[in-house]
Amino acid sequence: MAKALEDGFDLTGKVAVITGGSRGLGLEIARAYARCGARLVIASRKLDACEKAAAEIQSETKQECAAVACHVGRWDDCDRLVEFAYQRFGQVDILVNNAGMSPLYESLPKVGEDLYDKVLAVNLRGPFRLSSVIGSCMAEGNGGVIINISSIAAVQPTPTELPYALAKAGLNAMTVGMARAFAPKVRVNCIMPGPFMTDISKAWDPEMFAKMTRSLIPLQRGGEPREVVGAALYLASDASSFTTGAVLKIDGGTAFSPA
């Protein structure tokens, strides 16, 4: 039984493309996939960060890791990423749409068109393009898995992150729609994280965050990046072979909990 369970999470021979893979949750997911046997394409806007992450993971796991610069908010960059992945490895079995951004703004009327368009482009337009192209290739080939990284902002938005919340709500809807569009050979699922203690958390006010965790998060803490790994492996592997169109929240109980 233990061996069967272990085999269920085996990614040997798989190729995974991970956007926003050079840091935070994306980097943690990349490490986990390589440890389970996958070869990787790590993409983000900064090539040097991707190359550093790829080199570290390859040294640790002995799995081939390629780095590529990609601004997922740009249609042409998405197409170049797809071309790079298929030219390098000949296949893509797992796509993780992790890249995202949520810039601060002074007030809702002060949200300019450029900021709004940039947030929607990175968080929704890019995943749509990548999933459309790679999902079609998977459906025409040997199948595959697409995993979108959303946010509890999609279902519990605050006034300080509305463009981001709108984009993530769209990503949730896209998950369900593409699960149907590319079935039965492609599974499309979504992880919906709450507050995680990634590098972005260093900008948070520690006192305010501690107060929030006590009142709004039943587990009374932020998530550690390693705590996304179980869900990411489950959805990428045969362990979730009958799971598609699912949105799995990992948030310490934050969303839908009473204030």
* Residues designated as active site: 164
Cα angle 18, 23, 26 (rounded to 5 degrees) comes to 35
| Placement of tokens 């390629």 in the chain | 66
Task: Decide if 22 contacts 47 (C-beta within 8 A).
Answer: no
Longest dimension (CA), the chain: 58
Instruction: State the sign of the Cα–Cα–Cα–Cα dihedral 245, 250, 253, 254.
Output: negative
Task: Decide if 57 contacts 65 (C-beta within 8 A).
Answer: yes
| Closest by CA position to 209, among listed 254, 149, 143 | 254
Whole-number Cα distances in Å, 115 to 2, 109, 156: 50, 12, 21
